């Protein structure tokens, strides 16, 4: 915008700060008309405070002081008409008293206005700082979850590609040794065969552990299939009972929803075995009218319910994954179960199904 256009714009519309002052002067004139109509016997000086206060609040201290002087002049002019005082200075003294009252009101209102604006600015600043801190915390949680997932995948690949291959080589050498001992008809051949079996079992356990640590693969976004595989891995690897129960009428889930729900169930089941020494784990996915509930119940040791500060890394990551889906995460205890993990994910209304739902699918891995 050029200087000429700026000048035309300013000339066309007066500065906004003059608007409250003009309105205040008009208000003083209106109160003066009422004061003139009622006569000098009824004092209406308190009514002048209304335009003074509004002008000070919306126009600033200078505008308020100007309206205060105008109100004093109008009051003095109307108060001295047709009234005789014992001393000529009395009406001016009364005017000074009222002017002091008007000015004090304007000063106090301006102070309150300044404090209010400063408080609003402070609240805005603190709110922005709090929002920034919350965003930083979410970013840290996101990075921790991503690092945890990457390290888990790396560990799974190392177990599968390195340790499993190494154990396979050891088993091959042990088998060759057992065959040589058997050809020589040595009694140590039986021990060597037994050693081969132990190494093969260890290699199998390593492969199962790697499969459990690896992200869900081959499920094609099918949460039921992914959780049934998780239950089978938990039973095979840890020797526990893992029952998976999934409602048949689940809505179509995205790959991200399936992935995050699977990781929450995986972490909760592993925590139940690792920390709670559970022998029975039940994973269920229940459909509600407006939400999807993932519940992991387990027996074993009863764990105290931690507060937000005492949440372990695994629980914080599960809560973060639930937050990614717009859901909630809860870690509770029940009378017939040591621990219960509940992840509640809201569903869109257009995905709601009728009340006639099919029975859930049960997987006994």
Burial of 326 (0-12, 13-18, 19+ CB in 10 A): exposed
Question: What distance in Å separates the CA atoms of residue 191 and residue 185, rounded to the nearest whole number?
Answer: 13
At residue 334, does pLDDT exceed 70?
Answer: no
Residue given tokens 């949460």 in the structure block: 223
How much is the pLDDT for 294? Answer: 92
Alpha helices in the chain (DSSP H): 3-12, 18-38, 49-59, 61-79, 90-158, 164-183, 188-213, 223-238, 255-274, 313-324
Q: Does pLDDT of 353 surpass 60?
A: no
Coil, strand or helix: which one is 282?
strand
For the chain, domain boundaries: 3-130, 221-364
According to the model, what pLDDT value does residue 12 have?
41
For helices 313-324 and 255-274, the axis angle rounded to 10 degrees is 160
Selection from 46, 50, 58, 67 nearest residue 110 by Cα: 58
Lowest-confidence range among 180-189, 287-296, 298-307, 310-319?
Answer: 298-307
Is residue 359 scored above 50 in pLDDT?
A: no
Are the C-beta atoms of residues 365 and 344 closer than 8 Å to each other?
Answer: no
CATH assignment of 221-364? 3.30.565.10
Mean pLDDT of 317-335: 83
Q: How sure is the predictor about 283, in pLDDT bands with cuts at 50, 70 and 90?
A: very high
CA distance 175 to 181: 10
pLDDT confidence of 282, banded at 50, 70, 90?
very high
- Looking at the predicted structure, is the pLDDT value of residue 3 above 60? no
Mean of per-residue pLDDT scores for the chain: 77
> Between 205 and 32, whose confidence is greater?
32
pLDDT tens-place string over residues 51-106: 988 888 888 888 888 998 988 888 888 776 666 667 777 778 888 888 888 899 89
At 135 the pLDDT is 83
Residues recorded for the chain: 365
Q: What is the pLDDT of residue 234?
A: 84
Q: Taking 50 as the threshold, does the pLDDT of residue 7 lie above it?
A: no
More confident residue, 237 or 246: 246
For residue range 130-140, list pLDDT tens digits in order: 888 888 877 77
Segment 219-229 mean pLDDT:
76
């Amino acid at each position: 915008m050029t200087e000429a256009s700026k000048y035309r714009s300013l000339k066309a519309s007066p500065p906004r700060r003059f608007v409250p002052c003009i309105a205040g002067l008009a208000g003083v004139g209106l109160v003066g008309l009422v004061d003139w109509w009622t006569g000098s016997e009824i004092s209406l000086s308190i009514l002048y405070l209304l335009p003074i206060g509004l002008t000070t609040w919306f126009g600033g201290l200078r505008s308020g002081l100007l309206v205060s002087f105008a109100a004093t002049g109008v009051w003095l002019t109307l108060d001295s008409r047709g009234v005789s005082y014992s001393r000529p200075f009395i009406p001016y003294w009364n005017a000074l008293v009222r002017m002091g009252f008007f000015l004090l009101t304007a000063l106090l209102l301006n102070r309150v206005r300044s404090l209010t604006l400063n408080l609003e600015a402070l609240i805005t600043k603190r709110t922005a700082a709090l929002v920034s801190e919350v965003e930083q915390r979410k970013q840290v949680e996101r990075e921790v979850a991503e690092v945890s997932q990457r390290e888990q995948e790396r560990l799974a690949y190392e177990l599968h590609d390195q340790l499993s291959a190494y154990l396979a080589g050891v088993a091959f050498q042990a088998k060759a040794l057992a065959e040589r001992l058997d050809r020589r008809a040595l009694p140590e051949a039986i021990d060597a065969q037994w050693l081969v079996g132990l190494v093969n079992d260890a290699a199998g356990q390593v492969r199962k552990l790697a499969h459990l640590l690896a992200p869900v693969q081959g499920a094609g976004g099918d949460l039921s299939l992914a959780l049934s595989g998780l239950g089978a891995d938990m039973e095979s690897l840890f020797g526990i009972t893992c029952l998976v129960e999934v409602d048949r009428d689940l809505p179509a889930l995205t790959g991200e929803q399936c992935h995050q729900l699977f990781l929450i169930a995986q972490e909760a089941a592993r925590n139940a075995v690792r920390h709670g020494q559970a022998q029975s784990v039940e994973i269920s996915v229940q459909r509600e009218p407006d939400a999807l509930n993932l519940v992991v119940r387990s027996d074993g040791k009863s764990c105290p319910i931690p507060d937000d500060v005492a949440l372990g890394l695994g629980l914080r990551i599960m809560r973060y994954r639930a937050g990614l889906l717009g859901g909630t995460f809860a870690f509770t205890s029940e009378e017939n179960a040591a621990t219960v993990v509940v992840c509640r994910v809201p569903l869109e209304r257009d995905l709601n199904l009728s009340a006639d739902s099919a029975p859930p699918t049960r997987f006994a891995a």
